[in-house]
Chain A
Amino acid sequence: MATPNTQLWEVFIRSRNGLAHKHVGSLHAADTTLALQAARDIYTRRGEGLSIWVVPSNAITASDPSEKGMMFEPAESKIYRHPTFYDVPDEVGHM
Chain B
Amino acid sequence: MYTQALNASDAEDRYIEDADRSAQFQARIDADDRIEPNDWMPAAYRKTLTRQISQHAHSEIVGMLPEGNWITRAPSLRRKAALLAKVQDECGHGLYLYAAAETLGTSREELVDLMLSGKAKYSSIFNYPTLTWADIGVIGWLVDGAAIMNQIPLCRCSYGPYARAMIRVCKEESFHQRQGFEIMLTLARGSEEQKAMAQSALDRWWWPVLMMFGPPDKVSQHSDTSTKWKIKRFSNDELRQKFVDATVPQAYYLGLTIPDPGMKQNESGNWEYSAIDWSEFNAVLAGNGPCNRDRLAARRKAHDEGSWVREAAQAYAEKRKSRKAAA
Contact = CB atoms under 8 A, between A and B. Distances in A.
Interface string B2-28: 111110110000000000000000000
A5 B105 CA distance: 13
Contact of B314 (A26, A30, A60): A30
A25 B37 CA distance: 13
Contacts of B110: 2-3
B92 interface: yes
B109 A2 contact: yes
A65 B109 contact: no
14 contacts: A5-B4, A8-B102, A30-B314, A30-B317, A41-B88, A42-B96, A45-B92, A57-B2, A57-B3, A57-B6, A61-B6, A64-B8, A65-B36, A65-B39
B6 A27 contact: no
B95 interface: yes
Sorting the interface of chain A by its residue count into under 10, 10 to 19, 20 to 34 or 35 or more gives 20 to 34
Given A3-B113, A31-B317, A8 B5 contact: yes
A17 interface: no
Contacts, number: 88
B112 A3 contact: yes
Interface string B167-184: 010001000000000000
Contacts of A62: 6, 38
Contacts of A56: 5
Contact of B108 (A28, A34, A65): A28
Nearest to A48: B168
Sorting the interface of chain B by its residue count into under 10, 10 to 19, 20 to 34 or 35 or more gives 35 or more
A58 interface: yes
A57 B113 contact: no
B313 interface: yes
Interface in A24-45: 25-31, 34, 41-42, 45
Interface string A49-69: 000000011111110111000
Contact of B5 (A5, A41, A57): A57
B38 A2 contact: no
Contacts of A84: none
A16 to B, nearest CB: 17
A27 B91 CA distance: 13
Interface in B152-192: 164-165, 168, 172
A41 B92 CA distance: 8
B61 to A, nearest CB: 13
A30 B99 contact: no
A31 B316 contact: yes
B109 A57 contact: no
A6 interface: yes
Contacts of B79: none
A29 B92 CA distance: 15
B301 interface: no
B20 to A, nearest CB: 13
Contact of B320 (A10, A31, A58): A31
Contact of A8 (B3, B88, B113, B316): B3
A18 interface: no
Contacts of B6: 57-58, 60-62
A26 B107 contact: no
Given A8-B3, A25-B165, A27-B99, 18 more contacts: A2-B110, A2-B113, A3-B303, A3-B307, A7-B317, A26-B99, A30-B316, A31-B313, A31-B317, A42-B92, A42-B96, A45-B85, A56-B5, A57-B2, A57-B4, A57-B5, A58-B5, A60-B6
